[in-house]
Chains A and B, each alone.
Chain A
């Protein structure tokens, strides 16, 4: 429509390139259209509250949550609680990763040992981390240590299972090649077992980190005096619903970012023949 307004002397090339640009932009927007679901829902929510369809005390609108977020951030509480939660996950997850990967790979290759230890793992696995909170408090008191324990416990199982399955599924030919050349167990672990199982172990670590992140919040709700879980619990006692939701939004976003980071890490590390 705007082309008709242009003077006749305008260079046709400019018009076409501008036209091309706008089609490109339109294509980009169209390719990202599925991402519009989230803002659309938020808008709908906002509107529903403003028009009085829902109770603003129980469902504070996104604008109120954003404001609460802003308050929490500028007061500094958000950052210190975020740091506390992330640090706890870092510690608990690292401990779980080391133990679960080594144990999983070892049991996957040593069926005689797995026969004795696997039943223990299978019996402990169904006990939810929530059920461990009371005993964790009895053992470790309040603060970082019960959280580390609970995170490590939660992260252990997905990491262990993936490492164990991968080690068990190691093709027999590779074991034979290693034995044929007389490889030591060190060489076997470094050049055969670890590279062969790496893709699945990384998947396990990604899932385990996600589990660890859900566990830290659970731990902090009850057994802690800092962290995002503690933040939303405190906001509940003061009936600041928008702060509870603001905290929850941060928990979701951080978990989302962690998962993205791990996916990127997996892609960067596993660039071998299997990914092609």
Chain B
């Protein structure tokens, strides 16, 4: 099995595009190391290559140049050591909550007994007790989100990738789920990589925030978040360090296009 930290080594990605000369340079010379057990967020304006980068770590997209490694091994495709929470959850609408959560466990070839134990554990963790036999369309948005968390965590991956997991939720549900996710991460010891548009979300959750800039997609800055853990929810409104970092990230994101125009 592959193990160890993730390293993204001088990666570029150009999408061919439908028309001639329609090629899009989605990522340009991106280098980034992600430590084991780290909570890392990627933030940036639309089209700066966040999803592309995440899909590359997942193994869905191959770099045009450069390489993504797990430990010493180059990532060549998707693997159960890295699971993903997809944009809009991508739950299977024909499977019950329990079967959705069990999907990765079936893929791993676990026995029925092992599956049932694990599903029960993650149903508890995601506070879905009593909803095991429901279909996704019978759940609220927040509950679907928790099924998606449970499905990603159940097969016990080392790295959990999340593409704007809270984008479709109202701000109250969003805050509550961020806190739950943080608690899960703290207990799990897993590496979490989160793509988001939301500065507060990135700040509240992460050890580091990667700020990206568009055209071509690249890393602008990496901001360390020195806030102590465990983090309490009122950090968001009270803490002066939090507020200062929020202002800094805001400025970075809003100044983002200017340096590239100067070049």
Contacts and interface: CB of A to CB of B under 8 A. Distances in A.
Interface class of chain A by DSSP:
helix
A179 B94 contact: no
Contact of B92 (A176, A177, A179, A184): A177
Contact of B60 (A179, A183, A274): A179
Interface stretch (B75-83, B170-178, B187-195, B252-260): B75-83
A183 B83 contact: no
B103 A183 contact: yes
B80 A176 contact: no
A196 B83 CA distance: 22
Interface string A259-276: 000000000000011101
Contact of B107 (A181, A195, A273): A181
B106 A182 contact: no
A195 B136 CA distance: 15
B92 A181 contact: no
Given A180-B83, A181-B83, A191 B108 contact: no
B99 A182 contact: no
B216 interface: no
Contact of A177 (B86, B94, B136, B137): B86
A108 B27 CA distance: 32
A177 B93 contact: no
B58 interface: yes
Contact of A191 (B78, B79, B92): B92
A174 interface: yes
Name the residue among B88, B107, B136 with the largest chain A CB count within 10 angstroms. Answer: B107
B11 interface: no
13 contacts: A177-B86, A178-B107, A179-B78, A180-B58, A181-B80, A181-B103, A182-B80, A182-B107, A183-B103, A187-B106, A272-B94, A273-B93, A273-B135
Given A182-B80, A198-B94, 20 more contacts: A173-B90, A177-B86, A177-B90, A180-B58, A180-B60, A180-B78, A180-B83, A181-B107, A181-B155, A182-B104, A183-B103, A184-B107, A187-B107, A191-B99, A195-B94, A196-B94, A273-B93, A273-B94, A273-B135, A276-B137
